[in-house]
Structure 1
Amino acid sequence: MQSADLQRAVQFSIDHETSWDREVDGVWGVHQNDPPPWNRLLGPVHGRGPVSGVITRDGKQLMSWGEPDRADLTFSVAKTYLALLAGVAHERGLLPDVDEPVHVRVPGIGFDDEHNARVTWSHLLQQTSEWQGVCFGLPDQADHYRHVTFGIAPNGKKGDLRPLRVPGTYWEYNDVRINQFSLALLHLFGRPLPEVFRETIMRPLGASENWQWVGYDNAWVEVGGRRVHSVPGGTHWGGGLSISANDQIKVAQLFLDQGKVNGRQVLSTEWLQRMRTPCAIAPFYGYLVWLNQDRRIFPSAPASSYFAIGAGGSFTWIEPELRLAVVVRWLNPAFADRFFGLVLKACDEESSR
């Protein structure tokens, strides 16, 4: 299907490209909004392509545009992929209880003091951990009072020290804590997370090898006698996941297919359901995915929809009731809701024919 309505939706995205420059030496990235000394890159980055995307329904491609095979940085969409890896760990018995304190299985990496000993895996997955410390040179304070477009507006100035709450009682979008979660997963698996992601998710999906997930320049640790990179759950301070829209749509399809690929259960349906279960104190958020309950995040999309979202305008939209998956890269976030509405209208009109 390449209806005139769908083409209009795609053209709308092209006409509303992110305001970020295409090269990194301009207005580009999240770090530029941080107060010093945290307003700098700690890992490698690269320039971006044009607005690009893929739309599928019932697993069949309806439309692709831009440069869908280009591996571009996807920023915080990588958080959702960390949640998938936590699901792999759960099914392997490495993480049997998400409500267990993290230090029980991975002692000695920053979860052992009185405050952090109460942090559980579910807290990290829901961004309610209130973990306190320094991860690869970055303190959790760097993201205190951080405002994100679709979250709760905090009552404070970005980077100011905020009084900590009891773990599990306060929601905050905090990339340092996400990086600490990634480090914990690395120690849990005892292997580099990109290796595990390739073996357990990407290759079973039939994804390309044209992606990479890298850490900060100083994010090297020894695990199992190997010196390995700990990767971040985004590209706030550099590094992160570079991946194409065509590969991301395969990951989106995994959600729609309840964890199955060609009849093989790659990830359990139960875990995928947990990922989109609302957090009690932040019902717009699940396990590192954005939920659309009451159509709060995107009024033009159904309430059943959920999303992986990255800075700069990287969106993965999963709509289970319509069997619809959409990946769009470098779309100005201010126009994302309108774009989703146009795609939905095009699909509705096609269905009614």
Structure 2
Amino acid sequence: MKNAFLGLCMAAVSFAAPAADRDAFERATLAVEKGDYKAITSILVAQDGRVVYEHYFDDDDDGGADARRDTRSVTKTVAGMLTGLAIADGRLPDASARVFDVLPRARRRHMLNPDPRKDAIAVGDLLTMSSIVECNDENEYSRGNEERMYLIEDWVQFYADLPVQGFPAWMPRPADSPHGRSFRYCTAGVTTLGEVVQSAVREPLPAYAQRRLFDPLGIDTPQWQYSPLGLAQAGGGLALRTRDLWKLGQLYLDGGRVDGRQLVPEDWVRRSLSPQATAREDADYGYLWWLMKIPSGDSTIVAPTMAGTGGNAVFLLPQKRAVVVITTTNYDERQPHLLTVRLLTRELLPAL
């Protein structure tokens, strides 16, 4: 499956695209303008590396093509890209590197709830939302819920201090879970991954991201969010233009290549887009990529997705050799991700 999937991705640069259905895209425009999908701010569809549809629905004074859009947890996927680059640069050995061996020593020395199992947490555990600490953003009672993290200054120490997760009889243990991992969505873990990468490359995370990822893609002036102590937040809040988001998706659709050169190692792309944990019934999880199972006609396709709160998404559609970017401000809507998937499947996929 892994080789076949990457083969589909690589095919994105080697086939001629059929003509996109302009009338169908016009119907999508009208549906969004009517409010059928609430507060959609932009849509971009690219096929075979070319934009075939692009529309901005927000006010020109605050939006449009030049607006940097906070797509929330889409940032997490960027953190996974930077991790792969740090490994390629020889700054991290691989995904098995132990997190607390890379972080400043004070993190372990001042740690609450010390435990050898915490010492063994690896980069791969953070990439797959499956570390042993009790951290679950989808559980308001979780000690590691991200809303609790934002109440203190030191977000990485917040993660380091968390206790080990308990596994009562009704919760499968990691060894009994698919891929041997117990998935629990944990922003604090990816926030910590940002400091791991920064410590490994010995360079501020935004500077490393600009030099190794954004500049080669022609992405300028990204807007990072920072912790109270000045750490760039790898777990969310990075604001990019809609076309910037397309470039990041296109990079992985093309197997890590841009302008004829390998920017991100092909093997890292392959592993990132392969199931590493089971998140829920309709999605597996790679290295900070959602592997969404999306209905398409009479079948289901797997669409690797960068996803953020409000239904913000960058979908890779290897079978269509396409990338779809949808940005929104549906933060207060019930099940906003379902709105985005419905827009994709009802309005945009048929146009391809």
- Do both proteins adopt the same fold according to a TM-score greater than 0.5, normalized to the shorter chain? yes
Paired position in structure 2 for 1:10: 29
In the alignment of these two chains, the number of paired residues is: 279
Aligned to 2:122: 120
TM-score using structure 1 length: 0.71
1:143 matched to 2:145? The reply is yes
Instruction: State the partner residue of 2:79.
Output: 82
Give distance in 2, aligned partners of 1:169 and 1:63.
39
**1:8-61 C-alpha deviation (Å, 9 max, x unpaired):** 223334424556xxxxxxxxxxxxxxxxxxxxxxxxxxxxxx611211000111
Consecutive unaligned residues in structure 1, runs of 5 or more: 20-49, 134-138, 147-160, 221-228, 235-239, 348-353
Q: 1:215 to 1:18 in 2, by over 3 A?
A: farther
Q: C-alpha distance in 2, partners of 1:111/1:125?
A: 20
Deviates more, 1:95-104 or 1:317-326: 95-104
- C-alpha distance 96-162 of structure 1, shift in aligned 2 (>3 A): closer
Give SS of 1:213's match: coil
State the Cα RMSD in Å: 2.8
Q: Which residue of 1 aligns with 2:287?
A: 287
Match of 2:302 among 301, 304, 308: 304
Residue 280 and residue 314 in structure 1: after superposition, are their counterparts in 2 closer, same or farther (change >3 A)? closer
Query: CA contact under 8 A between 2:126 and 2:193: conserved in structure 1?
Result: yes
* Aligned counterpart in structure 1 of residue 350 of structure 2, from 341, 345, 350: 345
Relative to 1, partners in 2 of residues 1:51 and 1:182: Cα closer, same or farther, differing over 3 Å? same
Read off the aligned partner of 1:55 and give its amino acid letter.
V
Match of 1:275 in 2: 272
Matched, 1:65 2:55: yes
The alignment partner of 1:178 has SS state of helix
Cα distance per residue 1:241-278 (max 9 Å; x no partner): 11110111111110121111111111111101111111
Report the more deviating stretch, 104-113 or 280-289.
104-113
1:44 maps to what in 2? none
Q: For 1:145-172, what per-residue CA distance to the aligned partner results, in whole angstroms no more than 9, with x for missing partners? A: 99xxxxxxxxxxxxxx994358874211
CA contact (8 A) 1:131 1:140 kept: no
Find out whether 1:195 has 2:192 as its counterpart. Answer: no
Work out whether residues 307 and 318 of structure 1, in 8 Å CA contact, stay in contact via their aligned partners in 2: yes
| Amino acid paired to 1:123 | D
Q: Distance in 1 between matches of 2:79 and 2:29?
A: 29
* Pairing of 1:174-323 with structure 2 (within 5 A): 174-207=186-219, 209-216=220-227, 218-220=228-230, 229-234=231-236, 240-282=237-279, 284-292=284-292, 295=293, 298-300=294-296, 302-323=300-321
| 1:104-119 to 2 correspondences below 5 Å | 104-108=101-105, 110=107, 113=114, 114-119=116-121
1:323 Cα deviation from its structure 2 partner: 1.0
Greater helix proportion:
2
Shift of 1:322: 1.5
Determine the C-alpha separation between the residues in 2 that align with 1:58 and 1:182.
Answer: 32
Q: SS at 2:65's partner residue?
A: coil
Contact 1:68 1:244 in 2 (8 A): yes
Q: Which of residues 335, 339, 344 in structure 2 aligns to 1:335?
A: 339
Partner-residue secondary structure (3-state), 1:321: helix
Whole-angstrom CA distance in 2 between matches of 1:253 and 1:323? 10
Change (3 A) 1:246 1:276: same
Matched with 1:35 is: none
CA contact (8 A) 1:319 1:325 kept: yes
Following superposition, the deviation at residue 69 of structure 1 comes to: 2.3
Deviation digits for residues 225-249 of structure 1 (CA, Å, limit 9, x no counterpart): xxxx332411xxxxx2111101111
> Which consecutive unaligned segments of at least 5 residues does structure 2 have?
1-19, 57-63, 136-140, 149-162, 168-172, 175-179, 331-335
Q: Which residue matches 1:157?
A: none
Query: What secondary structure is seen at the aligned counterpart in 1 of 2:195?
Result: helix
Tell me how far 1:300 sits from its aligned partner.
3.6
Q: Distance in 2 between matches of 1:178 and 1:164?
A: 21
Distance 2:134 2:165 in 1: 11
